A = this chain, B = another copy of it.
C-alpha cells in the first residue's frame, strides 16, 4: 500500500455528503438547491454548509435567480470541480485496486 495516495485524497470532496453532491452535479449539469436536498435527503442547514465548502474550494458555482417569481438557487460544477472530482475518483480507484491485490 502506498501511503502517499491517502494523503492525496481531497478532504473537501471526501466527506460523504459532499461526495454525493459532487457526484450528482457531475451527472447533471445544473441542479437547484431544492433538487439536491430532495435527492440526497439532506437538511437545509447541512446542504448549505456543504455547498459553501465546495464553493470556497472553487468546485461549484452557485447562482440565484427567480423562477415563477420564486427565488431559486442553482448549482453546477466548475471546470476545476470536475477536474478535482475526476482526480479524486482516480485516487480511490487506485486505492481499491491496490487493496484487492494485497488482501491476504
Residues of A at under 8 Å CB distance from B?
1, 3, 6-7, 9, 11, 14, 16-17, 19-20, 23-24, 26-27, 29, 39-41, 85, 89, 92-93, 95-96, 98-100, 102-104
Contact = CB atoms under 8 A, between A and B. Distances in A.
Contact of A27 (B1, B20, B27, B93): B1
Nearest to A102: B27
Nearest to A41: B3
A97 to B, nearest CB: 9
A26 to B, nearest CB: 6
A3 B20 contact: yes
B39 A3 contact: yes
B26 A99 contact: yes
